[in-house]
Copies of this chain bind each other. A is one copy, B any other.
Amino acid sequence: MTDRTRVTRSPDRQRTDRAELYRILDDALVAHVAIVRDGLPLVLPMGFGRGGDAIYLHGSTGSGIFRMMASGSPISVTVTHLDGLVYARSLFDSSMNYRSAVVFGTATIVADPAEKAEAMRIVSDHLMPGRTAEVRPMTKRELAATLVLRLPLDEVSVKVRAHGASEEPDDGEDRAVWAGVLPLRLTALAPETSPLTAPGTPVSAAATAYAARIAGAADAAAAAARAEPAVAAPMP
């Protein structure tokens, strides 16, 4: 842990478990990438993938921010899951449940053709698991137009809040005010088929599996929630 990765606000929320870091990254599709441009901060959303102890970003060779990253500008990459709204009995103690990972470092270009192909597979499998097997391979021209960057997971800060509303038996708050958590989850709606898809073509198994995967995560969370009483039991 470095000064930069040590959590100073709510240090009890810091996590150092590597598996938790991987899970936060693997469950996310979009990262927010910050860079310093002309001395000023800029943060943009980007798709990404994780392979081993690195994050991979892919973009167009024509993208200015990608070229800046490729030339060694330091970056900060943050992934956040908003897991719930936490309704305390005061606005002051109200909060959010979340999981976030902040990565610091400098990205390098993945230039070796075999490593680049593998890195692009990692990003594709991350953003659209299973899709690689359903579509044609990338062409040489497409590969050449894509810049792939690698950011090692060396300097990382993980912060998690995953519990109920703050309350203590002697906090003096009004128990007749409901307190609790409203869990939030990303879910998929029905797939929308493109006009030029051949009649009778089944929906992509990759898309269907992804929808089921995130629905499963939501169902599991809902089942855990149902195991708690909807209305509070008498105080012990």
A85 on interface, CB distance cutoff 8 Å: yes
Q: Are B43 and A76 in contact (CB under 8 A)?
A: yes
User: How many copies of this kind of chain does the complex include?
Assistant: 2
Q: How far is the CA of A177 from the CA of B63 in the complex (A)?
A: 29
A90-B136, A177-B201 given as contacts; is B231 within 8 A of A193 (CB)? yes
A116 on interface, CB distance cutoff 8 Å: no
| Chain A residues packing against B (C-beta within 8 Å) | 8-9, 29-30, 32-36, 39-45, 47, 60, 62-64, 74-78, 80, 82, 85, 87-92, 94, 96, 98, 100, 102, 104, 120, 124, 127-128, 131-132, 134-136, 138-139, 142, 145-146, 164-165, 167, 169, 173-204, 206-207, 210-211, 214, 218, 221-222, 225-226, 228-235
Residue pairs across A and B with Cβ atoms less than 8 A apart, 29 shown, are A9-B62, A29-B82, A29-B96, A41-B43, A45-B98, A45-B100, A85-B210, A90-B136, A91-B124, A91-B138, A92-B139, A176-B201, A178-B201, A179-B196, A180-B191, A180-B203, A181-B191, A182-B211, A184-B188, A185-B186, A186-B186, A190-B226, A193-B229, A195-B232, A195-B235, A196-B235, A197-B231, A199-B233, A199-B234
